[in-house]
Structure 1
Amino acid sequence: QDIDISSSLKAIAKNPLHLDFYLHDYEKSENITASTLSPVQLSLNKGDIKLFITKKGAFYAIQGEIHIHTIAYSLQDLVVLLDHFILIKNQLFLIENKHHLKLIRLFGNKGEQLLIHQRKFEEFNRLFLEQIAHSVELNFKDIPKASKPQLKENLYYQDMQPLLFLEESEDFVNLIPVMRYGEVEIPILSKRNIFGTDSKGTQFLVDRKREAETKVISLLLKQHPYFQEQMDEGSFQHFYLHRKYFLDSNWFLDAFEEWQHQGIQIIGFNALRGNKLSRFKGKIHVEVLSGQNWFNANIKVSFGPKSVSLKKLEKAVRNRSQFITLDDGTHGILPQQWLDKFEAYFNAAESIADDFIEIPKYKFNEIDQLFEQAELDPIVLAELSTLRKQLAHFPSLSEVQVPPTFVGNLRPYQQQGLQWLHFLDGLNFGACLADDMGLGKTIQILAFLATQKAKEQSAPTLLVLPTTLIFNWRHEIQQFLPSFQTLVLDGPNRIEKGLQFEQYDLVLISYHNLLTDINILKKTTFNYVILDESQQIKNPDSQRYKTVNLLKSRNRIILTGTPIENNTMDLYAQLSFIVPGLLGSKKYFKDVYTTPIDAFHDRKRKKVLKEKIKPFILRRTKQDVLRDLPAKNELVLYCEMKTAQRRIYDLYEKEFRDFISAKDGDEIKKSPMHVLKGLTKLRQICNSSKLLQNEDLTSAADSAKIEMLIEQIQHKKDQHKMIVFSQFVSMLNLIKEALDKQGICSLMLTGQSKNRGKLVSDFQSDKNIPVFLISLKAGGTGLNLTAADVVYLVDPWWNPAVEQQAIDRIYRMGQQKTVTAVRLISPNTVEDKIQSLQQHKKEISNSILDDAGSFAVFYLDKSYLMNLLR
């Protein structure tokens, strides 16, 4: 009720409506008339009361005065009106302070001074003066001010310390500013005196340092607008806030930090009901140093005197907790920006210790994003600058000398690829060589392996590849690295007991066989593990991906012409193999990159991902290196037969060889059709033994060429249009059937096709048709198929001119792309022999069939035919 009356009177005294007020004089009349009313002005009293205490003989004389607008009025001259006001001239002042009212009543009508006998003074002082000392200035004229020796003896000024006491009052928190003088603590908003007694028993008065105290109040007022309002009211000796505002971390952490920075000691924070928060704002100190393969980020996290280990902090960050428990049981507050910052730190880290994290150097592009420049050691700054310059201008890196063990020549862009591999190797960074098909990824790798051996890297390299490519790699190794000791792990008894991989330079194994042999291979630490056609591990949940990651090596390389076949998730497994941790966890990569990029075409995320992987992927298209390339590339893919197909081929080859052996030269020339039939049958088996009609033993045999071809088309269908030529329509039918099973759209042109023009037009214009199957006779001439840039010759014709005519269907005027022609050859067969003989005797290409396709009787020579057969 008192609070309500006080508030109401205060509101009236402020007179916001500017009303006229009149004071009724009861002494003149109890009735209100014009003669009993006097105009008055209402005002709030902002004045101070001072009491002066002087000893006079056996008494203490006490005089009082109130200061209003710098004018002092004696308390003895004042009378309390209406229980809450005093009248001075025509101004009616509201006295809010109850102690002030009590004093005015006490001194009123007492004469000039109040006299208290010395026997009663001690009790009067205790019961009255000390109770009002916080709001009334008491001046003891008989107590001298402290001398310098007295001040020094008690360290009043030397040990000054501002304090802020926190107390609870129901749902509010009171903030009580205090100044400690030596051992005496004085509430700053009170008017209490500091009394002291020296060693001689002499009492003295210590002056309070009002300037220092005012500074403390000023620091408090800056932190909340409510404090200034409370100061203006002048009703309390403290400030106050509701708990929910006080414990708002966005407020008290900043306020406390500023106060503590200014030397104010805060007391009682953790004594507040249910409060276990640390009063200290977290601090981070970071210093990033350079190690051999790592950037070592020394990170110290503290909340006041308490430090926090990074391992403990990681748990809180991973749980997205806003608090972390400190050693003293309090909870440090983790701001949202801390959670984001440390999540980035921990995602980038390869290992986390109590006070540092290790970030692999292949994540150098992230260092600037993670840390401020001032946190980076000068050596780190220089290293980052050098790395970026070298990667941005890797073609101008110092040329790597190819050792003489490599028998071959590199085109300029291939030399640059070698320099890039060599540069990343020096940093122990993995690499993804993703050049377009036909640009010679194999030859670049072989040249690189030659440089590795020249550096005396004694450990072997393991090459993992599709089964269909083993023969091609073996052939290329024999051609370019003939001195290399190479082991091909194939066949049922491929790993003999006691086999020592260390005696070889290069070990080849298929993905299929690796799944079976991983327990043996994972025991060896290789110099390099290289994956060819690495898109075969693009599924991070696949057994292949899990298996290759069990292999141990100093470094890793992947080769692929199509790093992305379906979506950006294809990149995750492949890049994670060569630079583990670069892309984070599978879930992180999917949430941060795959979904935003593939589903929502997020350009920002795409740019971030591109910058992240850019240092580790080298991809040149044919257009990029056009100056270094012939307009037409011709390649050979060796398709090694599987057991069933090889058994059938060997059976027919023996039968045909026995036939030739039993005939003399003249007899052979007299039976050309028998020779043609025998050679044709062998060529058909090279394609697929299913081309032999009515042969029960061929029903279960697979086709190595169809398997290889489908695999090639699968990887290239999104970036290329392809022509597939075969002399045998029945082979085209088998290929068409295999394409249909894979859901790959294709067209077929044979001698029976009625709509030749429409087929060509549809293929040329429809981007959704990547494959055109054409019989050599029907489409070898007279067609313009410049939409395609890849030609597959499934069964090479004996006359190279006929093959060139087929290739020229796409390699002609109007072709804007570099053309790649690929011959599919079955090794250790009649096809393989023809290829070899063509290298030495160009006439062999016309020795069996002439340009018109008729049998060349002149070359039906027994020795030539026997050379074609094993």
Structure 2
Amino acid sequence: MITDFTEEEIFRSSSKEELKRLAARGQLIWKGKKIVLDPFTGLEFFYRIVPAGEKYAVHAKMKMGSREEDLSSCEAVFAKGALQHSIFRFWKEDIDPQWLQSRVLDLLELKELIEKPDVPQLIWDCPVPRFKPDPLPILKLKDRTGAFASLWMDYGLQGKHPMKGTPEEIFWEKDLLETDFMKKIVGESHYYCPMDKVVKSLTFLLDVGWTIIDAQGKKVVRQGAADWAAVSQVDHVLVKGKVAYGQHAADVKNVIGAFNRRDRFVNLSESDVGLLDFPAEWTALAEEEIVAEGIAVKRHHVGLLEDITPLPPEYQAAAWEEVLLSDNFLGKLFDYQRKGVQWLSYLFRSRFGGLLADEMGLGKTIQVLAFLSTLKITQPVLIVMPVSLLFNWKKEFEKFVPSLQVYVHRGEDRLLDLEKLKEQKVILTSYAQLRIDRLLLESMDFEALILDEAQAIKNPDSLTAQIACRLRSPFRLALTGTPVENRYEDLWSLFRFLMPTLLGERKEAPVLERVRKKIRPFTLRRTKIDVNLQLPEKQEQMVWIGWDEDQRSFYDQYLKEKRNALVQKVQAQGISSQKMEILELILRIRQICCHPQLVSGEYAGESAKFERVCNDLEEAISTGHKILLYSQFTSVLGFFRKWMEEKNYSYAYLDGQTQDREKAVELFRSDPNIQVFLMSLKAGGVGLNLQVADYVFLYDPWWNEAAERQAIDRAHRVGQKNKVIARKYLMAESIEEKILKLQGVKQSLSENLLEFEGEIQPISLEDLYTLLETI
């Protein structure tokens, strides 16, 4: 109030000039105080806007020159001006009294304020809000699969509504269509996603901030990390855990249960569901039983857990207890072989089957022998193998576990009395004999059942495979050096024998990765590379081969006829006169050991040695090794050339007729596809450098140890990075074995006889009978 007039009357009716006159006469008074008028300093009015939590503070401000002050510092504020410290100053322009106060507004109130046409100047101390808010997308799913959906928009305080097609909304639709959703009107749904793409598409949308509502009106939450634990129980492994979904956590049994029901979501609360994003490794758990405490995983399925959660301690490699080898075991083991024995003992204690698949030459047999030496055998151990391996196994038992009773079940004099057969500790037999005596062997219970060269049962429809599966034993072991992990049919047949329920029914479509996980705890395979540091630089192995019946019969008949005639001549004329006949006969029966067709083109049977070496070649080739194969006989090399060409294997070749020796050598050295070098002893000569090879096969021994070492050392030279394994192949109970026994005591004799060098030394009839005796 000024003088006798009210505020309204003065500011609505009085002009600035009139106020100036009143001030000049001293008639402007406020609350008893005279007001001084400053007509020269004009005031500017404006709003300064600052954030106030989720709202905005609108501060009324005035500015005098460069000085800014809050309107609250004034004693009075009027439409014409403001009174501060008893000085009245005019606004540069009259102000509507509705603006002359500070306030706190929400977004909508602020929007209404600034949209008024006469709003004062605004100065923002924060980002200017979008008063026409960009919509946020909401994907509303129309069914339980999540494949059908409609697009809605969230305008915040302005509400939610179906998409109308504004530019802002089309922007979000483009995002949706960049996933696997596509436009497709089906009922109330406007978008469709192929079933197998739903999880990927919904997960992406959740990751970039979309809101997704399921068909029940619940908010969809993205799946987070899982926390697992596995606890060993009496007959299973109990798996527990939680899966994170935002602020929620779902029990793993509920997650697996939802997956089994083919649900897309797992219920979390009255308002939220979790999107099931099921990793491939979890799918294996869908086969297991859901119990109150969690998921009961079969003991022999523990391999499925390796990529999910640490196994219980007793299922880990660290649980392979150190095995105290029996004093009856006379061999020495490398560290990796000790680990193999520990693994076998672990399987035996746990009543699991196992596949020992170490690469050729790493000693699968000696590991089995060391393991068997630790057992208290109360029932027979049955070991089945190709007939050619029977003698080798018997020799290995005699060498490493001589105290263990070993019986070879073969031939006409074999035991057919069940009770007598049950008295045996270890029974060795062949796959052929297994088929013949299947009823007898199927009626027995065995302490352990072992198949060597177990690829013999890789065809599950074969009679051999079916009989093997019917044999009874709580512990089954298969031995093979051939990698089979990528051939499901072979694996399935092997594990039907080892652990019949592990891989399910044969008709089930295999998921190879799941199969590998299932078999991993029960498969042990080491390669030369894996154990390279443990192997000696050069390892020589003797491979004893049993006879094929036709080949044995041919050998015996030929030797009998020729020996009798030779003995008569020696008795009549003396040994010195029969030098060439002796050498000729020894040569021929050695050739029969290699292959009877070297002596008789009419022979139509098999050669046990040739078949065994072909098998070893195939195994070494399949695992990427390079092999030198030596024979004294070019005809033997010819058999191998034919076999390799039939198998489509590339090879290098060198004999006395080869014109370009260096070309053959360089071909083997430099071409990775040429893994076999067929070489005759004489043509190999001296000075060849073949250190790319890491296997040496000596097909027919020539008894001169220096010559053998020279052949092996062509691979084992300076610069050789891999360890060399040399394998000498010998026919059991043959002249090869007899000469090997004489080698130590009559070295000069054996060299003269078999190398055709120097003068033959006089030998007695006893020596002759020893070498040429029918065995």
Deviation digits for residues 329-356 of structure 1, max 9, x if unmatched? xxxx999679999963342x3x799999
Shift, 1:390, TM fit: 0.8
Measured in 1, the distance between the counterparts of 2:411 and 2:438 equals 16
Amino acid of the residue matched to residue 312 of structure 2? Answer: L
Measured in 1, the distance between the counterparts of 2:261 and 2:645 equals 49
Amino acid of the residue matched to residue 702 of structure 1? Answer: E
Whether 1:649 and 2:544 are equivalent positions in the alignment is: no
Measured in 2, the distance between the counterparts of 1:707 and 1:230 equals 83
Whether 1:730 and 2:658 are equivalent positions in the alignment is: no
1:298–1:801: structure 2 CA closer, same or farther, 3 Å change rule? Answer: closer
Whether 1:869 and 2:775 are equivalent positions in the alignment is: no
Amino acid of the residue matched to residue 857 of structure 1? Answer: I
User: Which residue is 2:236 aligned to?
Assistant: 294
Q: 2:576 aligns with which of 669, 682, 705?
A: 669
1:389–1:792: structure 2 CA closer, same or farther, 3 Å change rule? Answer: closer
Shift, 1:763, TM fit: 1.4
Shift, 1:544, TM fit: 4.6
Whether 1:535 and 2:452 are equivalent positions in the alignment is: no
Amino acid of the residue matched to residue 344 of structure 1? Answer: A
User: Which residue is 1:61 aligned to?
Assistant: none
User: Which residue is 2:301 aligned to?
Assistant: 363
Measured in 2, the distance between the counterparts of 1:486 and 1:249 equals 73
Whether 1:412 and 2:335 are equivalent positions in the alignment is: yes
Task: Give the alignment of 1:94-173 within 5 angstroms.
Answer: none
Measured in 1, the distance between the counterparts of 2:383 and 2:339 equals 22
Shift, 1:523, TM fit: 3.4
Deviation digits for residues 207-254 of structure 1, max 9, x if unmatched? xxxxxxxxxxxxxxxxx999x9999xxxxxxxxxxx989xx9934385
User: Which residue is 1:687 aligned to?
Assistant: 594
User: Which residue is 2:359 aligned to?
Assistant: 436
Assess if the C-alpha contact under 8 Å between 1:848 and 1:859 holds in 2. Answer: no
Whether 1:822 and 2:727 are equivalent positions in the alignment is: yes
1:819–1:520: structure 2 CA closer, same or farther, 3 Å change rule? Answer: same
Aligned partner of residue 759 in structure 1, secondary structure: helix
Aligned residue pairs, count: 552
Q: 2:694 aligns with which of 780, 789, 801?
A: 789
Measured in 2, the distance between the counterparts of 1:702 and 1:244 equals 75
Q: 2:616 aligns with which of 706, 712, 716?
A: 712
Measured in 1, the distance between the counterparts of 2:282 and 2:619 equals 40
After TM superposition, the structure 1 stretch with the greater mean CA deviation from structure 2, 362-371 or 463-472, is 362-371
Measured in 2, the distance between the counterparts of 1:355 and 1:249 equals 31
User: Which residue is 2:214 aligned to?
Assistant: 250
1:751–1:416: structure 2 CA closer, same or farther, 3 Å change rule? Answer: same
Q: 2:669 aligns with which of 739, 764, 778?
A: 764
Assess if the C-alpha contact under 8 Å between 2:702 and 2:754 holds in 1. Answer: no
User: Which residue is 2:31 aligned to?
Assistant: none
Q: 1:388 aligns with which of 310, 316, 338?
A: 316
Measured in 1, the distance between the counterparts of 2:424 and 2:660 equals 57
Measured in 1, the distance between the counterparts of 2:599 and 2:345 equals 50
TM-score by length of 1: 0.55
1:843–1:388: structure 2 CA closer, same or farther, 3 Å change rule? Answer: same
Higher RCO structure, 1 or 2 (CA under 8 Å, sep 6+):
2
Aligned partner of residue 447 in structure 2, secondary structure: strand
Amino acid of the residue matched to residue 864 of structure 1? Answer: D
Shift, 1:831, TM fit: 0.7
Assess if the C-alpha contact under 8 Å between 1:665 and 1:862 holds in 2. Answer: no
Amino acid of the residue matched to residue 298 of structure 2? Answer: P
Whether 1:848 and 2:753 are equivalent positions in the alignment is: yes
Shift, 1:619, TM fit: 3.1
1:622–1:844: structure 2 CA closer, same or farther, 3 Å change rule? Answer: farther
Deviation digits for residues 411-432 of structure 1, max 9, x if unmatched? 3332232223223333333333
Q: Which has the higher helix share?
A: 1
Deviation digits for residues 825-852 of structure 1, max 9, x if unmatched? 11111111111222555445435256xx
User: Which residue is 2:715 aligned to?
Assistant: 810
Measured in 1, the distance between the counterparts of 2:463 and 2:596 equals 32
Deviation digits for residues 652-679 of structure 1, max 9, x if unmatched? 2223432453324972123311111111
Amino acid of the residue matched to residue 510 of structure 1? Answer: S
Task: Give the alignment of 1:197-208 within 5 angstroms.
Answer: none
Measured in 2, the distance between the counterparts of 1:354 and 1:577 equals 33
User: Which residue is 2:652 aligned to?
Assistant: 747
Assess if the C-alpha contact under 8 Å between 2:404 and 2:425 holds in 1. Answer: yes
User: Which residue is 1:328 aligned to?
Assistant: none
Identity, % of aligned positions: 35
Aligned partner of residue 325 in structure 2, secondary structure: coil
1:339–1:862: structure 2 CA closer, same or farther, 3 Å change rule? Answer: closer
Task: Give the alignment of 1:8-19 within 5 angstroms.
Answer: none
1:357–1:584: structure 2 CA closer, same or farther, 3 Å change rule? Answer: farther
Amino acid of the residue matched to residue 772 of structure 1? Answer: F
Shift, 1:473, TM fit: 1.0
Deviation digits for residues 713-732 of structure 1, max 9, x if unmatched? 11111221112211111222
5+ residue gaps, structure 1:
1-223, 232-242, 256-285, 300-309, 324-332, 372-380, 594-607
Measured in 2, the distance between the counterparts of 1:668 and 1:459 equals 54
Assess if the C-alpha contact under 8 Å between 1:563 and 1:570 holds in 2. Answer: no
5+ residue gaps, structure 2:
1-152, 161-186, 190-211, 220-227, 242-252, 266-272
Amino acid of the residue matched to residue 384 of structure 1? Answer: P
Assess if the C-alpha contact under 8 Å between 2:240 and 2:293 holds in 1. Answer: yes
User: Which residue is 2:445 aligned to?
Assistant: 525
Aligned partner of residue 421 in structure 1, secondary structure: helix
Measured in 2, the distance between the counterparts of 1:510 and 1:370 equals 42
Measured in 1, the distance between the counterparts of 2:329 and 2:572 equals 44
1:563–1:649: structure 2 CA closer, same or farther, 3 Å change rule? Answer: same
Amino acid of the residue matched to residue 318 of structure 2? Answer: Q
User: Which residue is 2:285 aligned to?
Assistant: 345
Assess if the C-alpha contact under 8 Å between 1:780 and 1:802 holds in 2. Answer: no
1:647–1:339: structure 2 CA closer, same or farther, 3 Å change rule? Answer: closer
Aligned partner of residue 857 in structure 1, secondary structure: coil
Shift, 1:823, TM fit: 1.4
1:861–1:778: structure 2 CA closer, same or farther, 3 Å change rule? Answer: farther
Deviation digits for residues 547-585 of structure 1, max 9, x if unmatched? 433333212222222323865765454456445555555
Shift, 1:692, TM fit: 1.7
Q: 1:502 aligns with which of 412, 422, 438?
A: 422
User: Which residue is 1:630 aligned to?
Assistant: 536
Shift, 1:386, TM fit: 5.1
Amino acid of the residue matched to residue 699 of structure 1? Answer: Y
TM-score by length of 2: 0.62
Whether 1:460 and 2:460 are equivalent positions in the alignment is: no
Measured in 1, the distance between the counterparts of 2:485 and 2:445 equals 31
Measured in 1, the distance between the counterparts of 2:574 and 2:281 equals 87
Assess if the C-alpha contact under 8 Å between 1:849 and 1:856 holds in 2. Answer: no
Aligned partner of residue 214 in structure 2, secondary structure: helix
User: Which residue is 1:699 aligned to?
Assistant: 603
Measured in 1, the distance between the counterparts of 2:361 and 2:419 equals 35
User: Which residue is 1:376 aligned to?
Assistant: none
Amino acid of the residue matched to residue 295 of structure 1? Answer: V
Aligned partner of residue 463 in structure 1, secondary structure: strand
Measured in 1, the distance between the counterparts of 2:657 and 2:650 equals 20
Amino acid of the residue matched to residue 425 of structure 1? Answer: F
1:322–1:356: structure 2 CA closer, same or farther, 3 Å change rule? Answer: same
1:633–1:444: structure 2 CA closer, same or farther, 3 Å change rule? Answer: same
Measured in 2, the distance between the counterparts of 1:744 and 1:513 equals 33
1:546–1:423: structure 2 CA closer, same or farther, 3 Å change rule? Answer: same
Assess if the C-alpha contact under 8 Å between 1:669 and 1:861 holds in 2. Answer: no
